[in-house]
Structure formats: structure tokens, C-alpha cells
């Protein structure tokens, strides 16, 4: 994701305002004022609220919720635990990212860690057939998502520690099915 300085200022301003006011109460005028630019500049870069929301959700995920590269597929549960704690620290932003993905908004990006999961599986467990590989990647991608955090928070009323524990435990359960197939 390559953005201009102006685009970054717009997205950062909108993210700050979401945390302060919520996503529904922020006008393009307020975003422009916070970013230190003219309102028409916001419209030139993001003609619609959907364009702005998609770009902001992607920016939040790529910057504020960025992930480190993993050395092993078996590091995923710890990475998921860490991600769940970061979402809990910034719940308003986590909700924006999740709702953008869950609504199926046209243009929403696929799970950001999917390519990394596929690469790690290919390197460490090459004996998996295509269906097994797809199942493991799908399960881990789902667990390693802000949508999982929202579900655990809203539907189960879980707190930060319980969310992190449950998601990491579920990832361990998925990985337990392939541990004995690790390449030497």
C-alpha cells in the first residue's frame, strides 16, 4: 500500500477521529480540518464515504495492527494472542476494520496474513494435500482476524485475556492436527 503524504494524513486523521467520536459522526469537513487540508482534497482522494472507509480500514490494519513476519507456522498462536490484545487496546478501530470486512464491502482486502500462512505451511508441512492445506489456512486466517475478536467480544462477552486465550487455544488445536507431518 503506497500512499501519498496527503492520503496518509487523511487516513490518520480519520482514524484519530473514529477513536474520539465513532465512525458515523465524522464529516469530511472535520477530517480535513484535522488533517490540515481543504475539504475538497479529501473528496479528490476519497470521493465517497465507502472509499474513505475501505482505505482507512486497510491503513489501520497495515499500520496500527501490523503483523511481524513469523518464522514458523507454529508461532501463529502467539501472534494471534498478540493481535487480539492489540485489537482490545483500540476497540473502535478494531470494529471499523471488522465491520468493513464483515459487510463484504466491495474492495475489502482478503486476510492479510494468508500468503504468509501458505508460505510457512509449504515450507514446514509440504506433505499436506491441497484440501488439507486450504482447511488449515482458512481456519488460521479466520482465527487471526479482527472479526474473531469482535465475535468473541460481542457474542460471548469475553474480556481481553479470555479472547486472547480462546483464539490462541483454537489455533493450537488446528495446528495439533498437522504437528506429526512436519518435514524433517
Question: How far apart are alpha carbons 45 and 29 in whole angstroms?
Answer: 14
The answer as to whether 103 is a domain residue is yes
The answer as to whether 184 is a domain residue is no
Average pLDDT, the chain: 91
Question: How far apart are alpha carbons 86 and 101 in whole angstroms?
Answer: 18
Structural domain for 96, as ranges: 73-177
Radius of gyration of the chain (CA): 18
pTM for the full predicted model = 0.85
For residues 58 and 34, membership in a common domain is answered with yes
Question: How far apart are alpha carbons 76 and 148 in whole angstroms?
Answer: 15
Return the C-alpha cell found at 121: 505451511
Length of the chain: 184
Structure confidence by residue, pLDDT tens digits, 13-67: 999 999 999 877 799 999 999 999 999 999 999 999 989 999 999 999 999 999 8
**Can you tell me which residue has the cell 482507512?**
56
Amino acid at each position: 500500500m503506497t500512499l501519498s503524504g496527503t492520503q496518509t494524513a487523511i487516513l490518520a486523521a480519520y482514524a484519530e477521529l473514529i477513536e474520539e467520536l465513532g465512525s458515523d459522526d465524522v464529516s469530511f469537513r472535520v477530517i480535513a480540518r484535522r488533517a490540515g487540508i481543504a475539504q475538497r482534497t479529501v473528496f479528490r482522494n476519497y470521493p465517497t464515504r465507502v472509499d474513505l472507509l475501505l482505505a482507512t480500514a486497510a491503513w489501520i490494519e497495515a499500520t496500527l495492527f501490523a503483523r511481524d513476519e513469523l518464522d514458523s507456522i507454529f508461532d501463529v498462536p502467539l501472534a494471534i494472542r498478540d493481535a487480539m490484545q492489540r485489537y482490545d487496546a483500540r476497540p473502535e478501530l478494531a470494529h471499523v476494520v471488522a465491520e468493513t470486512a464483515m459487510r463484504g464491502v466491495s474492495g475489502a482486502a482478503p486476510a492479510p496474513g494468508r500468503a504468509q500462512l501458505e508460505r510457512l505451511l509449504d515450507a514446514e508441512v509440504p506433505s499436506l494435500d491441497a484440501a488439507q492445506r486450504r482447511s488449515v489456512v482458512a481456519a488460521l486466517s479466520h482465527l487471526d482476524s479482527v472479526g474473531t475478536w469482535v465475535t468473541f467480544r460481542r457474542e460471548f462477552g469475553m474480556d481481553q485475556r479470555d479472547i486472547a486465550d480462546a483464539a490462541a487455544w483454537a489455533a493450537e488445536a488446528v495446528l495439533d492436527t498437522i504437528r506429526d507431518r512436519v518435514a524433517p
